Amino acid sequence: MSDRALLVVRAGALTTVQDRGRPGYAHLGVPRSGVLDPPAAALVNRLVGNPPDAAVLETTLDGCVLRPRATVTVAVGGAPCPVSVGGRPAAWGAPVVVPAGALLEVGAATAGVRGYVAVDGGIAVEPVLGSRATDLLSGLGPAPLADGMTLPLGVPAGPPARVDGVPQPCPPAELVLRVTPGPREDWFTARAVRDLTTRAYRVSAASNRIGLRTEGPSLERARTGELPSEGLVLGAVQVPPDGRPVVFLADHPTTGGYPVIAVVRAADLPAAAQALPGIPVRFVPVRRR
């Protein structure tokens, strides 16, 4: 067990260590952070026998290449992509054994954006405030992966899951986000509120772990002036001065001064994590529960 570590051969565009984040510190200015697609991360953890809060790798678009020093079991999920071990094709969405020293290649996503790589035992970097998540907004947690870096692994908790097949999510061709109104809907004109839920938006290439930015009609304010800074929730649809809605994701700031016109249902946010720049976004109004 002494050499349980992963060598990062190719880090990819943006690969970070993530777990379920660090809730409970928003009042100190600490984002919750954590995986953007929690169901995908929970599934790969389960496939390798990890508890659901074990740290995994979250890749962005072009995967990564890793070389474990010890023989490990891995599972790759989230955005579908080719997987190979020692140059031979291997299963996506299933436990795969990678012998010590063999190359695990997680290829570019064929759909969606964020891939998840779970290794039995989990990524065992030092936790910060109880979490191993990389928080890109405030710089907490481990730095994003870089070529040549070594990541420590934990001790496997249990046997890998015995599965024949797992549900294969299909990243959306159109992102449908159910929204409830407010809390600052009254800062916008009736027309802006109608525009948000009837006009066409697209995912902007400027989207990141902090927020899903959109392109589309600019939402018109009913009142000018500054909103005093107030607490923000995951999924808040904030409208900055350019009028284009931003949906706050895991690394969102904990307080902010632009009005929130609506809030996306938490259940719809994993799909937002997989939405490619350019795809249509529809905000569908629903009633509060």
Query: What binding mask, one character per residue, do residues 5-44 give for another protein by CB under 8 A, x or -?
Result: ------------------xxxxxxxx--------------
Select 80 or 270, whichever has its Cβ closest to another protein.
270
Confirm or reject binding of residue 235 to another protein (CB under 8 A). Answer: yes
DSSP one-letter string for 25-60: -GGGT------SSHHHHHHHHHHTT--TTS-EEEEE
Binder of another protein out of 138, 189, 198, 218 (CB under 8 A): 138
Confirm or reject binding of residue 172 to another protein (CB under 8 A). Answer: no
Q: What b/e string do you get for 167-186 counting C-beta neighbours within 10 Å, with b at 16 or more?
A: eebebbeebebbbbbebbbe
Residues 6 or more apart in contact with residue 81 via CB below 8 angstroms: 63, 92, 106, 107, 108, 109, 110, 115
Confirm or reject binding of residue 271 to another protein (CB under 8 A). Answer: no
> Of 205, 207, 201, 211, which is closest to residue 232 (Cα–Cα)?
211
* Interface with another protein in residues 105-134 (CB under 8 A): 128-129
Binder of another protein out of 66, 236, 272, 273 (CB under 8 A): 236
Residue 267 structure tokens:
């259940």
DSSP one-letter string for 235-279: TEEE--TT---EEE-TT--SEESS-EEEEE-GGGHHHHHTPPTT-
Select 9 or 233, whichever has its Cβ closest to another protein.
233
For residue 276, the minimal CB distance to another protein (Å) is: 25
Binder of another protein out of 253, 274, 275, 281 (CB under 8 A): 253
Confirm or reject binding of residue 225 to another protein (CB under 8 A). Answer: no
Residues that bind another protein (CB under 8 A): 23-30, 128-129, 138-140, 180, 182-183, 228-236, 253-256, 260, 263-266, 288-289
